[in-house]
Structures are given as C-alpha cells and as structure tokens.
Structure 1
Amino acid sequence: MKAFISTAAGLTLSLALAVPVLAATSAPPRPVTTYDKTVMERYFAGSSTASGTFKAITGLRRDLDIRLRGTVRPGGLTLREDIRYKDGQAERKTWRFTRTGPTTYHGTREDVVGGTTVHVNGNTARFTYLVDLDPGPKQSLYRFYDRLTFSPDGRSMTNTATVWKAIFPVASVKIDFKK
C-alpha cells in the first residue's frame, strides 16, 4: 500500500509539472501583427512621379501629372498625391492604407465613401471604391475599379482603372508611375 501511495504521489507531481508545459506547447499560435512588406510598401516608400489620362465616354479627356510621397509606417502606408491637371486645376489626395493581413489593406481617402479593401497578389494590387465627385451637398457617386501592376524591377508601375456610374462604364484611367 505504501508503494501505491508513493507511486500515486509521484504521478500526481509529474502531472502537475507536465500540465503547464503541455498547455504552453498546445496553445493556439498568436496572430501575426507584423508582415513582410508587400510590393505596395516597397514601391511607394519615398518619392515617385506619374502621368496619365482620364477619358470619359462623353469625349472629355484630362491629362494629369502626379507627385507622390509615400511613408511606410508600422501597420501600413500613407500615400500623398499632389495632382496637377493640364488645364491648371490642382488637388491633393491622401490615401491611408492599413494592413489587415499578409496581402490585404483597408484604404481610406478624403473623397472615398466607405473605404476600400486592397488585395495584393505578387506584383498586382486590385481594389474598388466609391468616389463622390460632387463636392457639394448632393452626392455624385462613381465606382472605380483599379488595378496596379508593378514592374518586376520595382522602378515603374501602371494603374489602369474603369469608372462606373450605376451600371454603366463611363470612363477609363491609365497612369504610368516612375521611381
């Protein structure tokens, strides 16, 4: 009987020591909060320039030049765009992209309604968003479908977009970026 009590006590002590070790090794993995930089963070860090064209189905064509300044921060990217149209109009837009996963971002901009989700797959990023093109109290919403294609050498990128009003495609955009 004495041997049984000694064995039982030894087993209890062994279990008491083993349970925390087993619990620590079988705990679910912690979510990763830092990710490798995507092609967006690598490309847009620092300064870049771009030029392109907005073409509407009405025949309207607006050529534009853009100076960009990207700041990579923990958890995402801020991208300031200083846009100058050939007709002299100028505007500044600022995208704020927050990492939501290894290849996804949530993006906001001052004229974007509701934000966007950006999906990065290799050297391509895709996103869609609503823009209110009427700065007044009445909304005039257009949906942009953007595709960013980054060159393998990291020195250029092309943004192509289709613009929709309700169920009709009404414009296209092509902008070429350079580092």
Structure 2
Amino acid sequence: MPTARLRPALAAAALVGCLTAHPRVPAPPRPPGAPAFTPDVFFAGWTRGLGVLDVRLRSPELLCVVGYGEAQPDGTFRLDQTVTHADGRAEERTWTMRRETPTRYTATLTDADGEVTATVEGGELFIRYSMGGGLSMRQRLILQPGGQTALNLSTVFALGALPVARLNEQIQKTDARVPCAGGAGS
C-alpha cells in the first residue's frame, strides 16, 4: 500500500495519462538583425489571442484572450487581459512586469502563486511560475516573422514534472480592441 506522501503523485500520474509537454518546435529563422522578443514592445497596445486549451480528462476548449498593455510611470509594464472561454465565461487577469536585464524580466500575475520569471532567447520568451496547489506553468512564446504575431505554447505541470494541461495559442497585435463575441473565437 502506498505511503501517504506517494498518493498525490500517483493520483496525478493517473490523471496525466498520455498528455505530454509541448515538443520542442523550432523557432522560425530569424533574419540578421531581427529584434529579440521584447514583451513590453509586443504587448504594448491591443492584442488578441485565439487558442485551444487541452486539460487531461476534459474535451479541448477554445479560448480567446484580449489584452491591453502599457508602460507605467514607475517603470513597470502592465498587461490587462480578459480570458473568454467557449461557454462565454470570462476571467480578468493582470501582469505587471519589470525588466531586470536585457534578457530577464520578473513579474507578478493574478494567476501566479509568487514571482513570475521570464527570459528572452532571441525571438523567444520563456515564462515560468507556480500556480499553487502543486501546479506550475511553463510558457514558450515564439515571435513570428514581421513581429505582429506570436505563438504561445504553454504547459501546466503537476508536481513539477507531470503535464496536465496544454495551451496552443496564436496572439496577434491589433490596432484596436477586437472583442471575443459570444464566446471564445467567435
């Protein structure tokens, strides 16, 4: 019989089934001199993301994320987002980011339990944070040629290593607010 400390790990493993983390997708070729992924530049103004959330033991769900970001007087960058689910349910979340070095950011996020770290590697942005309850998030945003679109490949892990949810999202910069009418992706 498993010990009390092993039961949560076994239960999480049973829930994971065949869900795996995102495979390493190569970033698109970057022309010489192409800008690095800079979140406070990419997310400045309006953005709209459409994605599919795949949570173990549930049907995949469409999500739409509308965001507005701007620099703050204290030197931070604030990104307010509305996440709309396929059933019309909406959640508000806020990121507050601070650049620590040219390639490292720290942030807070309403969904995070503690500090968020983000690292830039060329045209990619890697974000990590704890969500509490033994869950953690790893995001990989890949800036696409032209700089107006990014792919967001995110995985939620239980107990640090067992993938329990994935998000594949395409984020577009927009000139104005483009709402999610009637549910995600409408």
Assess same fold via TM > 0.5: yes
SS in 2 for 1:113: coil
Residue 108 of structure 1, CA deviation: 0.6
Shift of 1:128: 1.1
Counterpart residue number, 1:142: 135
Distance 1:75 1:173 in 2: 30
Confirm whether residue 87 of structure 1 aligns to residue 72 of structure 2: no
1:75 correspondence with 2:69: no
- For 2:58 and 2:134, the matched residues in 1 are separated by 20
Runs (4 or more) in structure 1 with deviation over 4 Å come to none
Q: Which letter maps to 1:43? A: F
Structure number with bigger Rg:
1
Letter in 2 for 1:149: I
Verify: 1:152 aligned to 2:145, yes or no: yes
Report if the CA contact (8 A) 2:37-2:125 is conserved: no
Residues 36 and 123, structure 2, Cα contact 8 Å, conserved in 1? no
* Structure 1 vs Structure 2 CA RMSD: 1.9
After superposition, the Cα gap between the structure-2 partners of 1:115 and 1:60, relative to the gap in structure 1 and judged at 3 Å, is farther
- Which secondary structure state, in structure 2, belongs to the residue aligned with residue 112 of structure 1? coil
Q: Measured at CA, do residues 174 and 37 of structure 1 come closer, stay the same or move farther in structure 2, by a change above 3 Å?
A: closer
Q: Is 2:111 aligned against 1:108?
A: no
Q: For residues 77 and 38 of structure 1, do their structure 2 counterparts lie closer, same or farther at Cα, with a shift above 3 Å needed?
A: farther
**Is contact 1:47-1:70 (8 Å) kept?**
yes
Give the secondary-structure state (helix, strand or coil) at the position aligned to 2:83.
Answer: strand
- Contact preservation (8 Å) 2:49, 2:66: yes
Tell me: CA distance 1:100–1:115, structure 2 relative to 1, closer, same or farther (3 Å).
same
- In structure 2, relative to structure 1, the CA distance for the partners of 1:121 and 1:76 (3 Å cut) is farther
Structure 1: any 5+ residue segments left out of the alignment? Answer: 1-35, 133-139
CA contact (8 A) 1:128 1:145 kept: yes
| TM-aligned CA deviation for residue 85 of structure 1 | 0.4
CA deviation after TM superposition for structure 1 residue 59, in Å: 3.3
What is the alpha-carbon distance in structure 1 between the residues aligned to residue 129 and residue 68 of structure 2? 21
Return the letter of the residue paired with 2:111: D
Higher helix share: 1
Kept in 2: contact 1:55–1:173 (CA 8 A): yes
* Aligned pairs (5 A) from 1:18-167: 39-73=38-72, 75-132=75-132, 140-166=133-159, 167=161
Which residue in the other structure is 1:171 paired with? 165
- Would the aligned equivalents of 2:84 and 2:91 in 1 still touch at CA under 8 Å? yes
TM-score, normalization: structure 2?
Answer: 0.68
SS at 2:99's partner residue?
strand
Q: Which has the higher contact order (CA 8 A, sep 6+)?
A: 2
Partners in 1 of 2:61 and 2:146 — Cα distance? Answer: 29
Distance in structure 2 (CA, Å) of the matches to 1:65 and 1:128: 21
Instruction: Spell out, residue by residue over 1:41-83, the C-alpha distance to the aligned partner (whole angstroms, 9 max, x if none).
Output: 2211101111101101213322111111011236332111111
- Flag structure 2 segments of 5+ consecutive residues without an equivalent: 1-34, 174-186
After alignment, is 73-82 or 46-55 more displaced? 73-82
Residue aligned with 2:107, SS: strand
User: Contact (CA 8 Å) 1:38, 1:103: kept in 2 or not?
Assistant: no
In structure 2, relative to structure 1, the CA distance for the partners of 1:38 and 1:56 (3 Å cut) is closer
Q: Secondary structure at the match of 1:41?
A: helix
